[in-house]
Amino acid sequence: MTPPPAQAATLSTRSLLSGEGSRGGSLPSWAPWGAFVGALAFCGLVEAALGWFTIALMVVFGALVAILAIYAWSRPIEGARRAKDRAVTMAIVAAFGVAMAPLVSLLYEVLTRGARGISWEFFTSDARGVVGGGGAAHAIVGTLIITACAVVIAVPIGIMAAIYMNEYGRGPLRRALTFFVDVMTGIPSIVAGLFAYALFELFFGPGIRMGIMGSIALTVLMIPIVIRSAEEVLKIVPNHLREASYALGTPKWKTIVKVVLPTAFAGLVTGVMIATARIIGETAPLLVTTGVVDSLNTDPFQGRMQNLAVYAYNEYRSPGVMKQASYDRAWAAALTLIAIVMILNVIARLVYRRYKTEIR
Amino acid sequence: MAHLDTTTNAGQLLAAASGGRRRRGDRIFSNTAVIAAVTILALLVGVAAFLVAEGFPALTASSADLPNHESFLSYVAPLAFGTVLAGVLAMIVAVPLAVAVALFITHIAPARIAMLLGFFVDLLAAIPSIIYGLWGIFVLGPAAVPAMKWLEEKLGFIPIFEGPASITGRTMLVVGLVLAVMILPIISAVAREVFSQTPRKLQEGAQALGATRWEMIRTTVLPFGRSSVISGAMLGLGRALGETMAVAIILSVSGGVTFNLIGQANPSTIAANIALNFPESSGLAINLLIATGLVLFAITLATNFIARMIIARSEVQ
């Protein structure tokens, strides 16, 4: 089937120039779509005939058959190499579709199911003394307080450490920090929760639950993300800005505060917001530290504190008498959480695009 | 200090450079930075130290005193098995898909769509795990029941599809798929980054020699990105091993060790086991759970460590 080498060289040059295959011919532009739809229909019919029809199987087999079909179709017309290219392209697009399908389905389900549980009551009342009803106001407030405490602790430490790594650090401490920040990125969230529990148990005795414990656990998860992103943006502040500042006799600390940080400001804010979005939906560390409670608590240093993620889990886990209403509230909490995360991410990117300093 | 900015001249500069005021400002600031750096190291040491301190009673207690009257090792072994099984399953599914997604975004999709898709995939990495859990139990699980029944009937001779197929969909296979969906954006972000950095001259050189797009990808993009993809996969594996809520919600656990992926009885994972049992535990049971957390910490540390080693080695070359 393969043409002799000399001919292959001239043909492929021509194919590059004219957009044709090494066999001279070329499939119509709708060929990949045609092959895919045809394969889907074929598999659907075969499965229906055999009596094992399910959508998932039809799509999986359909994609496989489509890859074979496009290869078999293209090979006699366009030659083996173009045929292989088409088959692989088809496989990659199919894999992309397979990978995106669950993610699209997830967003769709959260939107439709969550909308059912959203109501005025959901945002304004807590669930104290209510059987099979109530809202999630206590969870929303708790989420905000716990996350805010974590941000207040993690951001200064994280950014100062990033300044150390980028502006001051050298020698073993810097190397150790780089390495251990990487290690810290990999700490499972539940382990961070256990750490916070173990820390507070030592001082307050067993069974302790407080909002601030959750914040400490989240701090452990947030710091490495903040350092990573802050280091990244500090690194791209050009050295000539620092040197110009030194040349004017400005001390180093003032150079950092007045020149380096303002230049990197948009990037720092973006990094902090993305890190916040990452920790605001954490469930496991809060499950073991802040506990489950039905009423509003605004004091992070006293007693249990509910939050949205644990609320969603608990509504699913112990639905009580009115199961469906409870599940609806779990989805509503999920929708609220996803909305917060998405808004934080989008704002972060807008901030970056709008306020980033042009560095030349 | 403010006057220094505006009225600087050489004399003042020299005077200030030898004077103490400016140095004091610098010293305070740099010391703060060092303290922040040391705090972070102390925090990490603290995580390990407190877990060891609180887990220690369970490690040394005799098996008769432990809640289930079995030794720590025989308690944690099936959990560690389940953890690794779920993680590996997720990785087998996620890595090829993530590479395909990255290739699609960097080399196949039109540039305008590619940017949007990249943004979309990044957003997905931020979705909280509890939501993946709810989706798994309410949507994917029920949808997978007929497919698992089919697997049992047609491929039941393979041990992993032995069955009897679960009728609730709360199986290891579904957990593996959900974890795969969760880590896919992470791996594909790493892969996308490195694929888009493949030197242009290599790619254009390959195409100038008449390579088709796939031949160009196979000979330039994939070799260039290989080590980064491996380390990205390891990072994803670390994430899957430590994932808690999705597993705790979806999996129907029995505690045994089995490779059967579609059955009713599945081995639990360390993280899910902690989340399920911690709220109702007290005394030595808490210590036991913290000790299992220590094992999980060690497993994820080792995974991440290997990933970093691979990155470091490829950077040297």
Q: Where are the domains of chain B?
A: 3-51, 71-316
- pLDDT at B176 > cutoff 90: yes
Of A86 and A10, more confident: A86
Judged against a pLDDT cut of 50, whether residue B231 lies above it is answered with: yes
The pLDDT value recorded for residue A5 is 47
Predicted confidence at residue A53, as pLDDT, reads 66
The pLDDT of residue B20 is above 70: no
Position B1, amino acid: M
> Treating both helix axes as pointing N-terminal to C-terminal, what angle do A172-185 and B20-60 enclose, rounded to 10 degrees?
50
In the numeric block, the tokens 């650090």 are attached to A169
Q: Decide if A167 is inside a domain.
A: yes
The answer to whether residues A251 and B8 touch, using CB atoms and an 8 Å cutoff, is: no
Tell if the CB–CB gap between B41 and A176 is shorter than 8 Å.
yes
| Predicted local distance difference test score (pLDDT) of residue B91 | 93
Residue A161 has pLDDT above 80, yes or no: yes
pLDDT band at A360 (very low <50, low <70, confident <90, very high): low
Which residue among B38, B96, B135 sits closest to A106, beta carbon to beta carbon?
B135
Q: The domain that contains A284 carries what CATH number? A: 1.10.3720.10
Q: Is the dihedral of CA A276, A281, A287, A288 positive or negative?
A: negative
Nearest CA-CA distance, residue A139 and chain B, Å:
15
Is B289 in Cβ contact with A195 (below 8 Å)? Answer: no
Contacts of A205 by beta carbon, 8 Å cutoff, 6+ apart: none
Let me know if residue A155 belongs to a domain.
yes
Of the candidate ranges B29-33, B149-153, B253-257, B274-278, the one whose mean pLDDT is the lowest: B253-257
Are B293 and A190 in contact (CB < 8 Å)? yes
**Average pLDDT of the residues in B240-253:** 88
Mean predicted confidence (pLDDT) in A77-93: 86
DSSP codes of every residue in chain B: -THHHHS--HHHHHHHHHSHHHHHHHHHHHHHHHHHHHHHHHHHHHHHHHHHHHHHHHHHS-TTTSTTSS-HHHHHHHHHHHHHHHHHHHHHHHHHHHHHHHHIIIIIS-HHHHHHHHHHHHHHTTS-HHHHHHHIIIIIHHHHHHHHHHHHHHHTTSGGG-SPPPSS--SHHHHHHHHHHHHHHHHHHHHHHHHHTS-HHHHHHHHHTT--HHHHIIIIIHHHHHHHHHHHHHHHHHHHHH--HHHHHH--B-------SSSS-B---HHHHHHHHGGG--THHHHHHHHHHHHHHHHHHHHHHHHHHHHHHHHH-
A263 and A340 share one domain: yes
pLDDT for residue B316: 52
In this structure, CATH architecture of domain B71-316: Orthogonal Bundle (1.10)
Claim to verify: residue A147 and residue A93 sit in the same structural domain = no
Q: Is residue A285 part of a domain?
A: yes
Whether this prediction's pTM lies above 0.80 is answered by yes
Cβ atoms within 10 Å, residue B264: 15
User: Can you tell me the distance from the alpha carbon of A104 to that of B127, in angstroms, rounded to the nearest whole number?
Assistant: 12
| Shared-domain flag, residues A174 and A297 | yes
Range among A147-161, A260-274, B142-156 with highest mean pLDDT value: A147-161
Q: Tell me the HSE value of B133 on the side-chain side, using a 13 A CA sphere.
A: 29
Lowest mean pLDDT among A332-336, B88-92, B100-104, B261-265: B261-265
Q: Do A106 and B53 touch (CB under 8 A)?
A: no
- The tokens describing A239, both together, are 């050295």
B36 neighbourhood in chain A, CB within 8 Å: 156-158, 160-161, 163-164
A7 has pLDDT over 70: no
Given a cut of 60, is residue B6 above it in pLDDT?
no
Task: For residue A198, give the nearest of B50, B96, B184 by CB distance.
Answer: B50
Distances in whole angstroms, Cα of residue B151 to Cα of each of A52, A57, B157, B271: 11, 10, 10, 28
To the nearest whole Å, the CA of A38 is away from the closest chain B CA by 22
pLDDT of residue A132: 63
Return the sign of the alpha-carbon dihedral for residues B287, B289, B290, B296: positive
To the nearest whole angstrom, how far is the Cα of A169 from the nearest Cα of chain B?
8
Question: What does the pLDDT read at residue B2?
Answer: 41
Asked, for residue A20, whether it belongs to a domain, the answer is no
Instruction: State the sign of the Cα–Cα–Cα–Cα dihedral A96, A101, A102, A108.
Output: positive
Per-residue pLDDT band for B160 (boundaries 50, 70, 90) equals: confident
Average pLDDT of chain A to the nearest whole number: 84
Question: Is B13 close to A201, i.e. CB distance below 8 A?
Answer: no
In a domain, A10, yes or no: no
Q: Cβ–Cβ contacts within 10 Å for residue B239, how many?
A: 25
Task: Report which listed range, A20-29, A194-203, A216-225, A292-301, is most confident.
Answer: A216-225
Six-digit token string for B276: 């399920």
pLDDT score, position A359: 61
Report the residue of chain A nearest B23, measured CA to CA: A251
DSSP 3-state of A290 = coil
> Is the model's pLDDT at A185 over the cut of 90?
no
Mean pLDDT, chain B, rounded, equals: 83
Which candidate, B311, B304, B312, B291, places its Cα nearest to that of B239? B304
Q: Is B193 on the interface with A (CB under 8 A)?
A: no
Q: Which pLDDT value is given to residue B311? A: 74
SS3 A235: helix
Answer whether residue A176 is part of any domain.
Answer: yes
* Residue-wise pLDDT tens digits, B48-68: 998 898 888 888 877 777 777
- Amino acid at the residue A268: L
Report d(CA A166, CA B196) in Å as an integer: 26
ipTM of the complex: 0.84
Euclidean distance between CA atoms A127 and A293, whole angstroms: 9
B8 pLDDT tier (thresholds 50, 70, 90): very low
The Cβ of residue A30 has, within 10 Å, a number of other Cβ atoms equal to 9
Range of the domain at A32: 26-116
Q: Is the pLDDT of residue B78 over 80?
A: yes
- Best of A187, A194, A255 to substitute, by most chain B Cβ atoms within 10 angstroms, is A194
Task: For residues B191 and B224, give the distance between their C-alpha atoms in angstroms, rounded to a whole number.
Answer: 11
With beta carbons less than 8 A apart as the criterion, state whether B71 and B63 touch. Answer: yes
Least Cα separation, residue A130 to chain B (angstroms): 22
Q: How many CB pairs under 8 A join A and B?
A: 291
Check B40 against A227: CB less than 8 A apart. yes
What's residue B17's pLDDT?
52
The confidence score (pLDDT) of residue A216 equals 93
pLDDT higher than threshold 50 for residue A1:
no
Please give the Cα distance from B256 to B276 (Å, whole number): 17
Check B244 against A188: CB less than 8 A apart.
Answer: yes
**Inter-chain CB proximity A173 and B238 less than 8 Å:** no
Neighbouring residues of B77: CB distance < 8 A, sequence distance ≥ 6: B257
Q: What are the pLDDT digits (tens) for A132-156?
A: 667 888 889 999 999 999 999 999 9
Closest chain A residue to B127 measured between Cα atoms? A338
Cβ atoms of B241 and B303 within 8 Å: the answer is yes
Do the Cβ atoms of B232 and B186 come closer than 8 Å? yes
| Cβ distance of B98 and A99 shorter than 8 Å | yes
In a shared domain, residues A98 and A183: no
Taking a contact as any Cβ pair under 8 Å apart, which residues of chain B between 261 and 280 contact chain A? 271, 274-275, 278-279
A170 occurs within a structural domain: yes
Chain B contact set for A100 (CB, 8 A)? 101
A192 is a domain residue = yes
Residue A355 Cα, gap to closest chain B Cα (Å): 19
Comparing CA positions, the residue from A26, A92, A27 lying closest to residue A63 is A92
Quick check: A62 pLDDT over 60?
Answer: yes
Q: State how far the Cα of B94 lies from the Cα of B236, in Å rounded to an integer.
A: 9
Confidence of residue A111 (pLDDT cuts 50, 70, 90): very high
Are residue A96 and residue A153 in the same domain, yes or no?
no
Position A164 confidence tier, pLDDT thresholds 50, 70, 90: very high
Better-predicted residue by pLDDT, B21 or A107: A107
Burial of A205 (0-12, 13-18, 19+ CB in 10 A): exposed
The pLDDT score that the predictor gives to residue B315 is: 63
Say yes or no to pLDDT of A320 above 50: yes
Most B CBs within 10 A among A89, A105, A195, A341, hence the mutation to make, goes to A195
Q: Quickly count: other Cβ atoms within 10 Å of residue B311's Cβ.
A: 18
> Cα(A86)–Cα(A90) distance, rounded to whole angstroms?
6
Indicate whether A99 and A149 sit together in one domain.
no
- Number of structural domains (chain A) is 2
Q: Which of B302, B303, B294, B314 is nearest to B90 (CA)?
A: B303
Residue A358 CB coordination number (10 Å): 4
Decide if A24 contacts A12 (C-beta within 8 A): no
Co-location of A78 and A221 in the same domain: no
* pLDDT number for residue A300: 82
pLDDT bracket for residue B279 (50, 70, 90):
confident
Cβ of B293 within 8 Å of Cβ of A251? The answer is: no
How large is the angle between the packed helices A80-117 and B172-196, nearest 10 degrees? 120
**What pLDDT band is residue B132 in, cutting at 50, 70 and 90?**
very high
The confidence score (pLDDT) of residue B21 equals 53
Select the more confidently predicted residue: A236 or B312. A236
Tokens of B126: 């931020």
Q: Residue B4 — φ and ψ, nearest 5°?
A: -60, -35
Q: At A318, is the secondary structure helix, strand, or coil? A: coil
